Amino acid sequence: MSQPALKEALKLTADVLVIGGGPAGTWAALTAAAKGVKVILADKGYCGSSGATAPSGTGVWYVKPEEELREAAKASRYAMGGKLAEHRWMDRVLDRTYENMNRLGVSGYPFPVDEEGNPYRRGLQGPEYMRLMRKLVKKAGVKILDHSPVLELLADEHGVAGAAGVQTQNGEAWSVHAGAVVIATGGCAFLSKALGCNVLTGDGYLFAAEAGASLSGMEFSNAYAICPTFSSVTKTAYYSYASFYYEDGSVVEGAGSKKGRSVIARNLLAGRQVFAKLDGADEALQPLLRVAQTNFFLPFDRRGINPFKDLFPVTLRLEGTVRGTGGIRITDEQCGTGVPGLYAAGDAATRELICGGFTGGGSHNAAWAMSSGSFAGEGAAAYAAGLGRHSQHRAPVGLSSSPLVHQEVKAGEAARTAEYVEAVQAEVKPYDINLFRTEQGLASSLERLDGLWKEQRSREIQRTPEGVKAREAEAMTATARWMYSSALARTETRGMHKREDFKGSDDSQHHRLISGGLDQVWVKTEEVAKESVLL
Amino acid sequence: MIELVSQDRCIGCRLCVKVCPTNVFAMEGKLAVIARQEDCQTCFMCEAYCPVDALYVAPQADKSANPDEQELIESGRLGSWRKEIGWNPGAEDTMAERDTTPFFEVFTEAYRGKQQEIGK
Ligand SMILES: Cc1cc2nc3c(=O)[nH]c(=O)nc-3n(C[C@H](O)[C@H](O)[C@H](O)COP(=O)(O)OP(=O)(O)OC[C@H]3O[C@@H](n4cnc5c(N)ncnc54)[C@H](O)[C@@H]3O)c2cc1C
Ligand code: SF4
Ligand code: SF4
């Protein structure tokens, strides 16, 4: 158990605490506040610029409520996702996304208009969207704590009752006692520098597991994005116009942005650099592409590369669960986690409910973030309101698996944290472990990861910015263990999970894989709701 | 990575210190400085917010590129991202009003064929 926050530190109370201020967290905060409860939102970075949405444009699963369109939208990823999505959830998310996008229009988001003057509501520009969300959240009376990463959840015998962390800009510890908590900390991209993703280290997965919640679909966690080798800009849509070449100008047969990513990976693994050129877009089309997706071109323009004409080296950068679909298991319609008082939304939660095991990027994730955020916000507000007077007399304790302390920890801890991070990255980044999965590769990696967890779990972690990094290293280690344990258990290929030793999909494994546990990781199966089979 | 805080341009408004998600900047006296460059995730958000275009994020995520301020000014790179987004004073419209990337369709052959036609 960890030492409580110090007396002089920032101590607050609220009905609902939202952890994470990306789209999921801000929608959760807005929706909870609209129910008339007191809400605090804490972000590791800055609510408005932090997370995977803020730096770039996102497509949104915005589909008019017309039966034919909706059916087509639902069918679009159903098979690719290994038939693990559920009808009822897709309907709810499509409805709520439609509603929320229209609300954004009313709240002042400057949607483009088409030739007939109708607003075009199928995408959002991150900087604009998240700046507006911050404004709306503040207007709703929510208190925002920026640069205030959570280090651990607080709980008593009735359930989760708040969280504690540190303010990274002044070094002070903080804690919030709350009736309910929404985890909206995003996914885990393992500090790979994918665009906007270095704040996303799986912290929420670890917090949830420490509170006794479980995860779902962690085998669907190996999203890799094509991007220029030098760049952080993992915008992949336009690579559908690309051809891929070797240095001598000969074509890389079979390489492509969708199915052909593995061809690129195999070449990179063999030490053969692959180059790309967007020569599938003719000259008349190029200016049209430039109008949209501007930050796709930013790195090229700054280096004087013309991506339509010049070859540039590419790599596959790990985005982990951010554009994967695994996350905290959802147990009810309010995005509850099964632990009293604890809710999850956005990339922190599983997105299998709407896209199964195939990437949630490109529209589904954004829709899920805003709708699950709303569901969780409503659920948390109702739960907290239901606690009544009872909530005033709680004395919750911290749940961190490593002791969190106030006193100085030993010298050299920062260097050790960096070593742990590198060690985890060495397990999750390599294509021959994480992309091309085999029993042997996964099992031996898991052994090393289990060892890494053991080494870290009894470390004393100080409530300082350095301590935040230590907790991130733990969260990434835990995430990798749930990932590979689930991947090992799924002895077939389904969605983005590809087993080299089981290349086909197996009807008898048409189920979810639930995982959890800290010192002992476990995996078990769960039925997919029956009605999903109807599609 | 973040490579430059222009000492000539910075007005000490602290916005970059506030908005940087990974807490890269600090104030030194009245000016912002790059205090933890190794934590930079090359997300370009600080550039978008700086009101006087004093910041430059090089597109290289890993290597330090050491650009020359005068060259950046002459080539129009200093402040170019804020301008793209349309957050510069006097911008005619914002990127949000322009961007109609059809993300669902961009992946399909049929759609690309159609776009090539429109392009012509
Ligand atoms: C380059 C790129 C392009 C994408 N394009 C699309 C697209 O076109 N369409 C689509 O649907 N999806 C897309 N996605 C996915 C989409 O961005 C995410 O699904 C979405 O951002 C999820 O929202 P979120 O609120 O759950 O998480 P995020 O937006 O990632 O926000 C999480 C927040 O939690 C905070 N946080 C993390 N840990 C802690 C902690 N310990 N304490 C406090 N706060 C914490 C972070 O600082 C961050 O602000 C894309 C992703 C990437 C990387
Ligand atoms: S945002 Fe720009 S002007 Fe403001 S402190 Fe930072 S560098 Fe200086
Ligand atoms: S590019 Fe992003 S991470 Fe780097 S300094 Fe600017 S805001 Fe911070």
CATH code of residue B100: 3.30.70.20
Q: CA-CA distance, A180 to A409, in Å (whole number)?
A: 32
- Total structural domains within chain B: 1
DSSP class per residue in A293-329: -HHHHHHHHHHT--TTTS-EEEEEEEEETTSS--EEP
Q: CA-CA distance, B102 to B31, in Å (whole number)?
A: 42
Cross-chain Cβ contact A301/B80 below 8 Å: yes
CA proximity to A153, closest of A165, A171, A166, A167: A165
Question: Which of A44, A49, A312 would best serve as a mutation to test chain B binding (most B beta carbons within 10 A)?
Answer: A49
In the block, tokens 């958000």 appear at: B45
pLDDT over 90 (residue A227): yes
pLDDT in tens, B60-81: 998 777 899 999 999 999 999 9
Reported confidence tier of residue B108, pLDDT bands at 50, 70, 90 = very low
In the block, tokens 């510890």 appear at: A173
Q: Residue B108 carries which side chain, given as an amino acid letter?
A: T
pLDDT over 80 (residue A30): yes
Reported confidence tier of residue B104, pLDDT bands at 50, 70, 90 = very low
Q: How would you write B33-48 as a 3-class SS string?
A: EECCHHHCCCCCHHHH
- B22, B39, B103: residue with CB nearest A237: B103
Chain A nearest C-alpha distance from B120 (Å): 6
Strand A461-462 relative to strand A404-405, pairing: parallel
CATH topology classification for A223-317: Flavocytochrome C3; Chain A, domain 1 (3.90.700)
* Predicted-complex ipTM score: 0.95
Ligand 2 binding pocket, CB closer than 6 Å = B 5, 10-16, 32, 50-52, 54-55
Kind and range of the H or E element at A57? Answer: strand A57-59
Q: CA-CA distance, A262 to B1, in Å (whole number)?
A: 29
Angle made by CA atoms A502, A504, A507, in degrees to the nearest 5:
110
User: If one looks up domain A404-503 in CATH, what number appears?
Assistant: 1.20.58.100
CB of B44 closer than 6 angstroms to any ligand 3 atom: yes
What is the rounded average pLDDT for all residues in chain A? 94
Q: Residue A74 carries which side chain, given as an amino acid letter?
A: K
Average the pLDDT over A262-283 and give the result.
95
Q: How would you write A67-110 as a 3-class SS string?
A: HHHHHHHHHCCCCCCCCCCCHHHHHHHHHHHHHHHHHHHHCCCC
Q: Is residue B91 part of a domain?
A: yes
Retrieve residue B33's tokens.
Answer: 């400085």
Average the pLDDT over A217-233 and give the result.
96
CB B72, CB B61: distance < 8 Å: no
Classify burial at A246, counting beta carbons within 10 Å of its beta carbon; exposed 0-12, middle 13-18, buried 19 or more.
Answer: middle
Q: Is residue B93 part of a domain?
A: yes
As separate numbers, helices (DSSP H) first and strands (DSSP E) second, chain B gives 6, 4
- Per-residue model confidence (pLDDT) at position A531: 57
Closest residue, chain A, to B93 (C-alpha): A110
Superfamily of domain A10-217+324-389: FAD/NAD(P)-binding domain (3.50.50.60)
In the block, tokens 């090089």 appear at: B58
Q: Is residue B118 part of a domain?
A: no
Which is higher by pLDDT, A260 or A480? A480
Q: CA-CA distance, A262 to A249, in Å (whole number)?
A: 20
- Tell me the domain boundaries of chain A: 10-217+324-389, 223-317, 404-503
Retrieve residue A343's tokens.
Answer: 């809710």
Contacting residues of A for B101, CB less than 8 Å apart: 57, 59, 123, 237, 292-293
Cross-chain Cβ contact B22/A231 below 8 Å: no
Q: Is residue B119 part of a domain?
A: no
Among residues 61-90 of chain B, which lie with CB inside 8 Å of chain A? 61-63, 77, 80-81, 84-85, 87
Domain, as residue range, for B56? 2-111
CA proximity to B13, closest of B29, B38, B31, B35: B31
Q: Does residue B116 sit in helix, strand or coil?
A: helix
